[in-house]
């Protein structure tokens, strides 16, 4: 019966034995001598300069904490109200009342027209020429072209 | 002018002071600082080698305590809580310095036959007064051990904390606290061995 219990609680028993051994070792004369030596070490006290510096820091910290609390006192209710309003709007405003943008089609038609004009110009004149440059209306009708022989030959 | 060691506040008065501190009452907190500053400083001074660093750490300890006192729930004592903050700050500081001293292993400490031979006439714990030589050796021995051992030794032997309180401060199992205390003292025994045998001539 006892050996069975011992087997199942072996690790606990080992721990207890180790702890008992450790307690005994801690009460050893040599260990106690060291403990007394440490206990009788002189104490070092802080000075007034250190303390007044700490007081200044504490005062600064006190003001900072008060400021943060005051700000929280103002902003927290505002933030809470804003969140609550957003929820209420999302939940209670009927979807049908929400305004939606309906296109008249004029913008799309203009975009398509501009695109088609640009494509046509490209086919006629090639790349790197803008529409403005190929606008025939912009070319003065009276302009005289002094064609050289070489130019005519190239054509 | 030094502020002399002050008494810990009356146990009945401390909860009222803590309650006032929760409302950011600097005057009440000042009284708690008066009560604990020298004890915390004594601990930190031996945990951090540089005196200026130690003074900074103690100031940080009290400022952090002031910032977080509304979260102090009173499950542990204020002393335990303050020492925990101080210890954590010391560990942060020593990590930056990365010290790795040579120490005994627990098996070696148990098996060592070189115990301190203490002559009967010198073994008078109550009347024992440390002379300068022994004091220097003890300080040097404490300074040469790791912060893990040093913290347990100082909290137990210098600050009179119980094993449970130390386990709470350092967040360690009770067995670990005991084994570290044993190792720390064994380390110090080795450091004082020569002195106790009368071989040291400093």
Q: What angle do CA B172, B173, B178 make, to 5 degrees?
A: 95
Q: What is the mean pLDDT of residues B76-104?
A: 80
Contact B156 A48 (CB under 8 A): no
B202 against A93, higher pLDDT? A93
Global pTM exceeds 0.90 = no
The predicted-structure confidence for B39-53, as pLDDT tens digits, reads as follows 999 999 999 888 889
Q: What pLDDT, on the 0 to 100 scale, is given for residue A119?
A: 85
In this model, does residue A5 exceed pLDDT 80?
Answer: no
The β-bridge partners of B2 are A47
Nearest-angstrom CA–CA distance, B102 and B159: 25
Structure confidence at residue B126 (pLDDT):
52
pLDDT > 80? residue A138: no
Q: Do B178 and A19 touch (CB under 8 A)?
A: yes
Instruction: Answer whether residue A110 shows pLDDT above 80.
Output: yes
Mean of the per-residue pLDDT values of chain B: 81
Highest mean pLDDT among A77-86, B4-13, B101-110, B151-160 belongs to B151-160
- Residues of chain B contacting A42 with CB distance shorter than 8 Å: 135
Q: Which ipTM did the prediction report?
A: 0.75
Give the per-residue pLDDT at A73: 82
Q: Is B37 on the interface with A (CB under 8 A)?
A: yes
User: Each residue of B61-83: pLDDT tens digit?
Assistant: 999 999 999 888 888 899 999 99
Q: Is pLDDT above 50 for A72? A: yes
* Shortest distance, CA B1 to any CA of chain A (angstroms): 6
In three-state form (DSSP H/G/I as H, E/B as E, the rest C), the secondary structure along B56-99 is: HHHHHHHHHHHHHHHHCCCCCCHHHHHHHHHHHHHHHHHHHHCC
Q: By the CB < 8 Å criterion, does A60 face chain B?
A: no
Q: How far is B78 from chain A (nearest CA, A)?
A: 18
Residue A37: which of B24, B138, B160 has the nearest Cβ?
Answer: B138
Task: Kindly list the distances between the CA atom of residue B56 and the CA atoms of B44, B77, B106, B135, in Å, as whole numbers in the listed order.
Answer: 10, 23, 34, 25
Question: Is A139 near chain B, with CB under 8 Å?
Answer: no
From the list A22, A42, A48, the residue facing B182 with the nearest CB is: A22
Query: Is B23's pLDDT higher than 80?
Result: yes
What pLDDT, on the 0 to 100 scale, is given for residue A74? 83
Q: How far apart are CA A119 and CA A27, in angstroms?
A: 100
The rounded percent of chain B whose pLDDT value lies above 70 is 74
Contact between B5 and A53 using a beta-carbon 8 Å cutoff:
no
């Amino acid at each position: 019966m006892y050996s069975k219990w011992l087997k199942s609680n072996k690790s606990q028993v080992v721990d207890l034995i180790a702890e008992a051994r450790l307690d005994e070792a801690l009460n050893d004369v040599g260990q106690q001598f060291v403990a007394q030596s440490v206990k009788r070490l002189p104490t070092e006290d802080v000075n007034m300069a250190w303390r007044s510096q700490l007081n200044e820091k504490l005062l600064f910290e006190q003001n900072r904490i008060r400021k943060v609390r005051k700000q929280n006192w103002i902003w927290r209710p505002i933030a809470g109200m804003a969140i609550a309003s957003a929820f209420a709007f999302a939940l209670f405003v009927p979807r049908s009342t929400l305004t939606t943008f309906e296109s008249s089609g004029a913008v799309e038609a203009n975009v398509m027209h501009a695109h088609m004009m640009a494509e046509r110009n490209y086919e006629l004149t090639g790349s790197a020429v803008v529409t403005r440059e190929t606008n025939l209306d912009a070319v003065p009708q009276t302009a005289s072209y002094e064609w050289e022989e070489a130019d005519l030959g190239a054509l | 002018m030094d502020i002399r060691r002050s008494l810990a506040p009356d146990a009945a008065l401390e909860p009222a002071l803590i309650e006032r501190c929760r409302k950011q009452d600097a005057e009440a907190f000042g009284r708690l600082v008066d009560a604990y500053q020298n004890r915390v400083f004594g601990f930190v001074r031996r945990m951090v080698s540089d005196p200026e660093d130690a003074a900074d750490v103690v100031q940080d300890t009290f400022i952090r305590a002031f910032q977080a006192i509304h979260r102090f729930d009173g499950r542990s004592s204020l002393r335990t809580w303050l020492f925990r903050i101080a210890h954590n700050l010391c560990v942060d500081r020593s990590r930056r310095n990365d010290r790795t001293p040579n120490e005994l292993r627990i098996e070696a400490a148990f098996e060592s036959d070189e115990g301190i031979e203490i002559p009967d006439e010198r073994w008078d714990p109550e009347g024992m007064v440390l002379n300068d030589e022994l004091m220097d050796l003890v300080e040097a021995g404490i300074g040469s051990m790791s912060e893990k051992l040093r913290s347990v030794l100082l909290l137990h032997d210098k600050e009179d904390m119980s094993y449970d309180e130390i386990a709470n401060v350092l967040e360690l199992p009770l067995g670990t606290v005991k084994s570290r205390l044993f190792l720390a003292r064994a380390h110090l025994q080795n450091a004082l061995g020569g002195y106790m045998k009368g071989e040291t001539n400093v």
